Structure 1
């Protein structure tokens, strides 16, 4: 009799164990895309800002890298032609060099013969124009760095409002109901922060490249003025 009862007990325990395992071991895996899509409506504008951010970063990086190239031999060649009195050849040399530095030198070559202050001022204005061209659309990155995290935060807040509204209607205040809805809405905050960090970092990196160019071009202008004064 004891053996029979023990056998029944073991059978019931085994069955209960199987039921528990079946209940607690469902397949909870979710794809990365599926996880991201749970972030809600506000992920759409954040995604648009992300794609635009990458476009601006790539386009500006390629433009700035190309335009800010400086040839150490260029100013030497121009100086040699100016010292020999061949201003026309100096102009041809800077025109065939398609960089911002060459464009600034060209403005100086074109006004040779005028007072030094006027030549230097003309080159400074040309430098400001070239730097302004490099800075185009960089302000958009600064704007996105502020907008994207804000959009993510608004998405999370709207989700929290919906959760509490649902609780007020259904009176279901279970942890699963609250945490399940909350983690989905916090995805938008995380996405917004990531986009903001990318835009903020790119903004300062690209501006750093422009600042380096501005320093180099000021040295080049000074060198050009010294060449004219010695000629």
Structure 2
């Protein structure tokens, strides 16, 4: 622990905002791992029950299930069924409703994903800024004391580079997490689109 404190003291003031970014990144990553579980966004068993009710022409029961079980997918289905039961039975109208609901629901899926990407971009830049600032201080000290003690130069440079190293340590896992979550979000959005279209198709089939 004492070694870590010593490293932070050597790295200078930029180590502290970098530490803050690192803590934020960890918190956001943990939150996204929990929130982006498939059963939390798209509860497959519940969706199957709703579609079964629609196929059996039990639209009211299907709406009740969708309203009872809260998730992104069931919220979209509920609004489709709600509009259908209110007389808006044209498939194109139902698609518009699904799109409107999706605009509200999809940001819930994305959550802090973009924030993780922002941290991945900012951390190395902040670390590099700390290094540049540190190097300026080293050369200013050299201009005063000269090259009588080379250890001062080497020690100063190593201290200045600490912020870059720490910034990259934060950025690399954050960037990996960002692309992982971005891929998962895109997959979930595609699945939600398919579920909405399947719901509308089943309702339209019932009309025929």
CA distance in structure 1 between the partners assigned to 2:148 and 2:123 by the alignment = 31
Q: 1:75 to 1:163 in 2, by over 3 A?
A: closer
Does the 8 Å CA contact 1:167/1:173 hold for their aligned counterparts?
no
Give the alignment's TM-score, normalised by structure 1. Answer: 0.79
Q: CA deviation at 1:36?
A: 4.2
Q: CA deviation at 1:173?
A: 4.8
Q: CA deviation at 1:79?
A: 3.0
1:108-123 correspondence runs (5 A): 108-112=80-84, 113-114=87-88, 115-123=90-98
| Aligned counterpart, 1:91 | 63
CA distance in structure 2 between the partners assigned to 1:78 and 1:136 by the alignment = 27
Give the alignment's TM-score, normalised by structure 2. Answer: 0.87
Deviations, residues 107-147 of structure 1 (Å, cap 9, x unaligned): 11101142111112111222232111222332222222221
Q: CA deviation at 1:163?
A: 1.1
| Aligned counterpart, 2:111 | 136
> 124-133 or 150-159, which moves further after superposition?
124-133
Does the 8 Å CA contact 1:75/1:224 hold for their aligned counterparts?
no
Deviations, residues 134-179 of structure 1 (Å, cap 9, x unaligned): 2233222222222111111111111111111111111135432211
Give the superposed CA RMSD: 1.9
Deviations, residues 189-208 of structure 1 (Å, cap 9, x unaligned): 00011112222222221121
Correspondence for 1:70 among 7, 29, 43: 43
CA distance in structure 1 between the partners assigned to 2:145 and 2:52 by the alignment = 86
Correspondence for 1:166 among 141, 154, 169: 141
CA distance in structure 1 between the partners assigned to 2:31 and 2:112 by the alignment = 10
Correspondence for 1:225 among 184, 200, 203: 200
Q: CA deviation at 1:63?
A: 1.9
Q: 1:143 to 1:173 in 2, by over 3 A?
A: farther
Say whether residues 1:213 and 2:185 are aligned partners. Answer: no
Q: CA deviation at 1:32?
A: 4.3
